[in-house]
C-alpha cells in the first residue's frame, strides 16, 4: 500500500449527511480538527438538499403551479432547471461552509475502514488515510430494488434521483410502492401531466394510518387522475422497446400496465457495503444497518452511526436529532438519547399534504384509552377561510384526545399547510398543553392553525 498522504484528526466524519455535517460544524467551531469524507462531489450536503427533500418539495411547488395552457414538456424542463440551480447553490454552500473553516477539511472519495481508527480513501498514489480517535458514520441509505424478474435490467427503470434531474417528462410512469417516496413522485409527475399508476403490495395505502384517512388520501390521488392499485403483486417486467410491460397479480387475476418510466419506491436500506466495517469490528444488522445503542454508539464505542445508516426512521430531522445526541456526549452532559424522542411528526408531501403525529384513533382504541375523536372536512371548517383563499379545500383534520387528561394523543392533518400546523400540535403534545388550551389560543388570521379553534371545539365538553 503506497501512502501519499496520512492525515490525523480529532474527529473523522464519513458521509456529508445532515447529522454528520451538523456535528462537523459544531465540533470544528469548538476547536476540534475535523475531517469529512464524502464520496461524491454531487452530494456535498447529503441526500436531502441534493436528491431528496429539497428537489422533491420544489418539484411539488412547480407541479402545483402548472396551468392548463402550459406546454407540459416545456414547463417540466423549466422546473427541472430551477431545481438544478437551487440544488447546485445549496451544494456549493454546504461545501464552502465546512471546508472554509480553519479546523475542517473535506476530502472527496469513498471511505473504507482499514482498522478501528483509520479509513482509506482512494487508491495508489492518490491514497489518503485518515486516523482519528472518534469516528462518525453518516453514510445514509439507498433504494431497495425488489427481486422481480426483468425489473433491474429494464431500460425504463428510473431512480428517484433521476426523476429529480431528467429533462424529459415521461409519458407513463409506473411507481412500485405507495409509501412516502412513491406517493410524492406520483403526485408530482401527475401534476406535470404524466399518466401515473401506483402499484402497492399492501391491501391499502398507508397501513399505519387510520382507514378513513388513508381512504381520503386515495380519493384525492385518484381524483387527480392517478391510478392507485393496492393488493398488487408485481411478478414480472417485460421489455418491449419504447415501453416496459409491468405484469402484476391482483385478486387471483393477472393484469399488466405499460411504463415508459418505472420507479421502484419500495423502501431504502442503509449504505454500509464497501465501508469494510468488519475491519473496524463494527456490528451490523441483517439489513446492513450499523447496530447502535441509545447514545448512537456502535459495537466500537468510539464509532457512532447517525442518520439512515443506523436503521432508525429515515427522515432528515431524525438525522439532525442524532447529531444533537452525539454532540451532547462531546460538549454537553451526555444525557440525551434516542429514547427522549416524543411526538415526532411526519409529513407526506402530496397535495394537500398529510401530516401526522402520535397515536391514530385505532391505535388509541387498541390501547383501551378513553378517547374523544374530532374529525372535520377542511371545506367545512368555518374558522379556516385560508383554505378557500388559496383554493385548496380538499382534505380532513382529525384529532384524538384523551378524555381523562384532555391531552392530545394524536393528529392526522390532510390539509393545506399541514406540515406547519403539525409542528404546533407536536410541540403541545410534548409540553402537555391540553386540547382546551389549543382550542382557546389566539392564532393569526387567516391562517390554517386557527382551524384548531374549531376542530377541538367539536369534541370538548
Q: Give me the residues that bind ligand FAD (CB under 6 A), please.
A: 14-19, 37-40, 43, 46-48, 52-53, 56-57, 110-111, 138-140, 160, 181, 271, 274-275, 307-309, 314-317, 319, 349
Q: Which of 62, 117, 315, 399 touches ligand NAD by CB under 6 A?
A: 315
Nearer to ligand NAD, 176 or 435 (CB): 176
234 binds, among ligand NAD, ligand FAD, none (CB under 5 to 8 A by kind): ligand NAD
Nearer to ligand FAD, 111 or 357 (CB): 111
Q: Which residue has the cell 406535470?
A: 192
CA 166/CA 330 separation, integer angstroms: 42
Kindly give the interhelix angle for 211-223 and 180-192, rounded to the nearest 10 degrees: 20
When computed from its CA atoms, the radius of gyration of the chain, rounded to whole angstroms, is 24
Q: Which of 83, 199, 259, 396 touches ligand NAD by CB under 6 A?
A: 199
Nearer to ligand NAD, 171 or 249 (CB): 249
Residue 425 and residue 411 in contact, taking contact as beta carbons nearer than 8 Å: yes
Angle (CA) 143-316-227 rounded to 5° is: 50
CA 244/CA 172 separation, integer angstroms: 10
Residue 96, classed as helix, strand or coil, is helix
17 binds, among ligand NAD, ligand FAD, none (CB under 5 to 8 A by kind): ligand FAD
- Compute the Cα dihedral for 300, 304, 305, 311 and give only its sign: positive
The number of residues making up the chain comes to 461
What totals of helices (H) and strands (E) does the chain contain, helices first? 14, 23
**Residue 445 annotated among the catalytic residues of the structure:** yes
Work out the widest C-alpha separation in the chain, in whole angstroms.
76
Q: Which of residues 142-161 bind ligand NAD (CB under 6 A)?
A: 146
Residue 136 and residue 306 in contact, taking contact as beta carbons nearer than 8 Å: yes
Question: Where does this chain touch ligand NAD (CB under 6 A) — which range of 181-189, 254-262, 376-384, 453-461?
Answer: 181-189
> Applying CB under 6 A, does 201 fall inside the site for ligand NAD?
yes
Q: How many CA atoms lie within 13 A of 318 on its CB side?
A: 21
Closest CA relative to residue 46, chosen from 135, 106, 101: 106
202 binds, among ligand NAD, ligand FAD, none (CB under 5 to 8 A by kind): ligand NAD
Q: Which residue has the cell 456502535?
A: 298
Question: Where does this chain touch ligand NAD (CB under 6 A) — which range of 33-41, 71-79, 343-351, 377-385?
Answer: 343-351
> Applying CB under 6 A, does 178 fall inside the site for ligand NAD?
yes
> Applying CB under 6 A, does 347 fall inside the site for ligand NAD?
yes
> Applying CB under 6 A, does 200 fall inside the site for ligand NAD?
yes
Closest CA relative to residue 195, chosen from 260, 265, 266: 260
Q: How many CA atoms lie within 13 A of 112 on its CB side?
A: 11
448 binds, among ligand FAD, ligand NAD, none (CB under 5 to 8 A by kind): none
Does 139 carry a binding-site annotation?
Answer: yes
Q: Which of 266, 360, 415, 453 touches ligand NAD by CB under 6 A?
A: 266
Residue 221 and residue 228 in contact, taking contact as beta carbons nearer than 8 Å: yes
Q: Which of 78, 255, 432, 445 is the catalytic position?
A: 445
User: What one-character-per-residue DSSP string does 34-89 give?
Assistant: EEEEES-TT-TT-HHHHHSHHHHHHHHHHHHH--TTS-HHHHHHHHHHHHHHHHHH
Q: Which of 17, 177, 311, 345 touches ligand NAD by CB under 6 A?
A: 177
CB of 147 to ligand NAD, least distance (A): 9
Q: Which of 66, 227, 268, 276 touches ligand NAD by CB under 6 A?
A: 268
Q: Which of 184, 402, 417, 450 touches ligand NAD by CB under 6 A?
A: 184
Q: Which of 44, 95, 113, 180 touches ligand NAD by CB under 6 A?
A: 180
110 binds, among ligand FAD, ligand NAD, none (CB under 5 to 8 A by kind): ligand FAD
The catalytic residues are 445
Binding site for ligand NAD (CB under 6 A): 146, 176-182, 184, 199-202, 234, 265-268, 314-315, 347-349
Amino acid at each position: 500500500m503506497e501512502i501519499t498522504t496520512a492525515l490525523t484528526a480529532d474527529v473523522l466524519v464519513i458521509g456529508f449527511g445532515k447529522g454528520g455535517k451538523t456535528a462537523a460544524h459544531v465540533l470544528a467551531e469548538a476547536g476540534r480538527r475535523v475531517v469529512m469524507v464524502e464520496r461524491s462531489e454531487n452530494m456535498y450536503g447529503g441526500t436531502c438538499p441534493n436528491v431528496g427533500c429539497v428537489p422533491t418539495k420544489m418539484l411539488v411547488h412547480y407541479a402545483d403551479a402548472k396551468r392548463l395552457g402550459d406546454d407540459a414538456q416545456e414547463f417540466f424542463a423549466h422546473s427541472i432547471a430551477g431545481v438544478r440551480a437551487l440544488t447546485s447553490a445549496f451544494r456549493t454552500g454546504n461545501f464552502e461552509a465546512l471546508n472554509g473553516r480553519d479546523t475542517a477539511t473535506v476530502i472527496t472519495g469513498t471511505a473504507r475502514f482499514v482498522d478501528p481508527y483509520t479509513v482509506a480513501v482512494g487508491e495508489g498514489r492518490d491514497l489518503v488515510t485518515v486516523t482519528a480517535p472518534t469516528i462518525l458514520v453518516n453514510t445514509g441509505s439507498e433504494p431497495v430494488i425488489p427481486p422481480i424478474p426483468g425489473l433491474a435490467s429494464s431500460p425504463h427503470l428510473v431512480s428517484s434521483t433521476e426523476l429529480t434531474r431528467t429533462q424529459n417528462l415521461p409519458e407513463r410512469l409506473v411507481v412500485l410502492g405507495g409509501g412516502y417516496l412513491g406517493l410524492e413522485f406520483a403526485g408530482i409527475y401527475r401534476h406535470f401531466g404524466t399518466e401515473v399508476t401506483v402499484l402497492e403490495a399492501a391491501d391499502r395505502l398507508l397501513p399505519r394510518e387510520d382507514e378513513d384517512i388513508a381512504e381520503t388520501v386515495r380519493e384525492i390521488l385518484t381524483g387527480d387522475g392517478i391510478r392507485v392499485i393496492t393488493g398488487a403483486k408485481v411478478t414480472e417486467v417485460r421489455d418491449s422497446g419504447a415501453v416496459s410491460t409491468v405484469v402484476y397479480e391482483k385478486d387471483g387475476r393477472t393484469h399488466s400496465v405499460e411504463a415508459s418510466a418505472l420507479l421502484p419506491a419500495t423502501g431504502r436500506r442503509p449504505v454500509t457495503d464497501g465501508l469494510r466495517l468488519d475491519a473496524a469490528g463494527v456490528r451490523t444488522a441483517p439489513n446492513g444497518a450499523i447496530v447502535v445503542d441509545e447514545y448512537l454508539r456502535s459495537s466500537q464505542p468510539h464509532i457512532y452511526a447517525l442518520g439512515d445508516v443506523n436503521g432508525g426512521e429515515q427522515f432528515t430531522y431524525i438525522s439532525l436529532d442524532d447529531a444533537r445526541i452525539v454532540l451532547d456526549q462531546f460538549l454537553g452532559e451526555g444525557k440525551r438519547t434516542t429514547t427522549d424522542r416524543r411526538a415526532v411528526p411526519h409529513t407526506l408531501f402530496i397535495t394537500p399534504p398529510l401530516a401526522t403525529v402520535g397515536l391514530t384513533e385505532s391505535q388509541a382504541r387498541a390501547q383501551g384509552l378513553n378517547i374523544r375523536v374530532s374529525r372535520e372536512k377542511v371545506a367545512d371548517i368555518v374558522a379556516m377561510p385560508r383554505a378557500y383563499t388559496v383554493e385548496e379545500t380538499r382534505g380532513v383534520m382529525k384529532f384524538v384526545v384523551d378524555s381523562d387528561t384532555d391531552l392530545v394523543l394524536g393528529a392526522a392533518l390532510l390539509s393545506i399547510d399541514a406540515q406547519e400546523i403539525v409542528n404546533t400540535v407536536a410541540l403541545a403534545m410534548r409540553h402537555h398543553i391540553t386540547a382546551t388550551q389549543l382550542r382557546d389560543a389566539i392564532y393569526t388570521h387567516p391562517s390554517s392553525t386557527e382551524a384548531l379553534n374549531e376542530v377541538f371545539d367539536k369534541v370538548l365538553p
